[in-house]
Amino acid sequence: MKMLKRFVVKKDERGLLFSEGDFQSVLEPGLYLRFDPFNRLTVETCSLNAPLFEHRIAGYLRKNEHALVERHFERMDLGEHEAGLRYEDDVLVEILAPGARRLYWKGQADQRLERIDLRHGYRLDAALVAVLTQPGLRSQGLAGFDAVLLVQVPAFQVGVLKVNGDVAELLPSGQYGFWRFNRQIGVELVDTRLQALEVSGQEILTRDKVSLRLNLAANWRYSDVLLAHARLAKPQEHLYRELQFGLRAAVGTRTLDELLENKQIIDETVSAHLARKLADTGLEVSGLGVRDIILPGEMKALLAQVVEAEKAAQANVIRRREETSATRSLLNTTKVMEENPTALRLKELETLERVAERIDRISVFGGLDQVLNGLVNIAPR
């Protein structure tokens, strides 16, 4: 029977010696020979490359083996209102949550814990934010990184900070970090420049039951960002709905003829609606207008027929007016010739001239008076 049992613990390991499954001691690197005639001893090795000690006996050691723990482990216990920053050789490697109870092996790297009292605020200091935003640190997969919220607020924007659902403050452009522990925290980026909002494809019935499809465009901005987010859960969606309501109020209370005669009335009605509804909301509309009014196909054909009939009637009126004017002018000319023989003679010569222009050759017999008498005879009856 083999009486001695041989155990080897490497330099980057620690050993846990058990007798019939019951913990006996921690073995440091080296070669161990133990008298074990009944095969009761076993050794479990732990790699120092994974310094966190998560063994089933961790609780026992913490409670009953204080000297052993002080010798072999770094003890990192946090209160309910504390967060921890764990460093290995002065390099940040882990963020510990409040209430954490951890044991880390000594020997492989120098372990250090920095405690953060969360009751003093939820914002990270600028130095820690600079560390956490290093690309190299983030690419290494910092343990517990989701415990912080890092926010970059670009130029021409502000950040609305909400803590536990309430608006806390307004953040100007810059880099910020916040603790997520013991609270719900979020930042909504808001563009403070003038923005465009389109309300497209709105199907609305006019007062005379004609279906129209309209597209509306509006330019808007935040006049007071904090007020807007304090009064409204989603300011942009609220503005979109009010534009819809204003458009329906403008179109649904008027006939198609009224809208076609004065398209500007839609813009004026919607603007008046927004002026009432957006007062004291922190939103400001600087301009709006209807881009398109689209009629159904059959309504387009009917309107084309109406326009065609109106234009035909107008053309007929103009034609009759010209005919009346020409008749009146001819009557006036006749009266002048009747009262003035010289004018009649000039008219006769003018007529003879027009006739002569169309004839290549003229033979006159009986004198010029005979030609004139044969062409024009305006003797009173």
Q: Per residue in 251-286, pLDDT tens? A: 988 888 888 788 789 999 999 999 999 999 999 999
Place of tokens 């909400």: 162
- Provide the 8-state DSSP code for 143: B
Q: Contact, 290 vs 263, CB < 8 A? A: yes
Backbone φ and ψ of 14, nearest 5° = -130, 150
**Out of 23-32, 172-181, 341-350, which region has the weakest mean confidence (pLDDT)?**
341-350
Task: List all residues 6 or more positions away from 273 whose beta carbon is below 8 Å from its beta carbon.
Answer: 242, 245, 246, 249, 250
Q: CA-CA distance, 303 to 301, in Å (whole number)?
A: 5
Question: Sorting pLDDT into bands at 50, 70 and 90, what band is 365?
Answer: low
Q: What CA–CA distance (Å, rounded) separates 171 from 35?
A: 69
pLDDT band at 358 (very low <50, low <70, confident <90, very high): low
The model's confidence at residue 380, banded by pLDDT at 50, 70 and 90, is very low
Question: Two tokens at 315?
Answer: 């053309």
Assessment of whether the complete model's pTM goes beyond 0.75: no
Q: pLDDT higher for 332 or 244?
A: 244
Q: What is residue 203's predicted lDDT score, i.e. its pLDDT? A: 86
CA distance 339 to 332: 11
Name the β-bridge partners of 114. 85
pLDDT of residue 307: 57
* Both structure tokens of 361: 């050759």
* Cβ proximity of 247 and 235 under 8 Å: no
